[in-house]
Amino acid sequence: IDGYFGDWELMAQYQDTDWNEYQENPASVDNPNVDIDKYAGITQNDDSFFYLSVEGNMLSGTTIPSQKARSIPSFSSGSAPIDVVNPIPDTTEPAPLPELYGDDTIYIFLDSNGDIPYGFKVNDSFYADQLVEIRGQHGLIISSELYDYSSTDSMEVWDWTLNHTVDSAAAGNELEFMVSGLASQFKTYFHLISWDDSEDYSNGFWVESGESKSRTDPAWSKHNIDTSFSGATSVYAID
């Protein structure tokens, strides 16, 4: 992983659209820095390589997330703000304002279990047992990490354990990263969230040994994960 993206020109890539499969309506992305352009993946031996480009600037973020005063948020009983480290509410003290980091975040969901329904439930046929989270600002990568799914009680709980850091490089509107030790084939799904809550979603796709864009089925997109993934802003890892 060296940030030389010319290597990917020979690889077959997916072209993103504003109307991915299963979406009810086409949806444009307000922030071009998280508007997906192209993406790809390939597995070689024990290493899996991924590519992503956006219409704007990769991992741009912002220095000052908000210039307006914010009121204390009101969460419903079923909500789970991901960036709260202690999920147990303290009824004796007012809830603190969530910190705005100004980061852009890229989530890459990985389903390597085959037909075993274990992992964060993206939909009925996609259970993400692993997740890559890449955060950045001003084009610089702040963190790049692989997580394993941790929950055993429910597949709809956002519960992850840090596995290891991930080699990654970003420049301009492009990103590449490598993850070691994954399965020889697995399902993959990109989900980008900007500092201002703009979002974009790739279709689901298979990553297999020696090929990129080898299969296009099954596919998933925004319509399938709105309920379970609403509000995710940071991985809460149990070390």
* High-pLDDT (> 70) share of the chain, %: 69
Total count of domains within the chain: 1
Average pLDDT over residues 212-224: 45
pLDDT given at position 36: 95
pTM comes to: 0.77
141-191 pLDDT, tens per residue?
A: 999 999 999 999 899 999 999 999 999 999 999 999 999 999 889 999 999
Q: Residue 130 class from Cβ within 10 Å (0-12 exposed, 13-18 middle, 19+ buried)?
A: buried
Kindly state whether residue 22 falls inside one of the protein's structural domains.
no
Q: What is the CATH number of the domain that holds 198?
A: 2.60.40
Is the per-residue pLDDT at 72 higher than 50? Answer: no
Kindly state whether residue 14 falls inside one of the protein's structural domains.
no
Partner residues linked to 42 by β-bridges: 49
Kindly state whether residue 149 falls inside one of the protein's structural domains.
yes
177-189 pLDDT, tens per residue?
A: 999 999 889 999 9
Computed over every residue of the chain, the mean pLDDT equals: 78
Kindly state whether residue 239 falls inside one of the protein's structural domains.
yes
Kindly state whether residue 134 falls inside one of the protein's structural domains.
yes
pLDDT given at position 7: 82
Kindly state whether residue 95 falls inside one of the protein's structural domains.
no
Kindly state whether residue 3 falls inside one of the protein's structural domains.
no
Domain that holds residue 138: 31-61+100-228+235-239
Q: In what order do the strands lie in the sheet with 167-171?
A: 14-15, 36-44, 47-54, 174-180, 167-171
pLDDT confidence tier of residue 35, bands split at 50, 70 and 90: very high
4-28 pLDDT, tens per residue?
A: 788 898 888 999 987 766 555 667 8
pLDDT given at position 122: 84
Is the per-residue pLDDT at 198 higher than 80? Answer: yes
Whole-angstrom Cα distance, residue 108 to residue 115? 19
Handedness of CA 51, 40, 9, 212 (dihedral sign): positive
CA angle 221, 121, 86 (to 5 degrees): 115
Kindly state whether residue 112 falls inside one of the protein's structural domains.
yes
**List of residues 6+ apart from 88 with CB closer than 8 A:** none
pLDDT confidence tier of residue 103, bands split at 50, 70 and 90: very high
pLDDT given at position 141: 96
**List of residues 6+ apart from 56 with CB closer than 8 A:** 31, 32, 33, 34, 35, 173
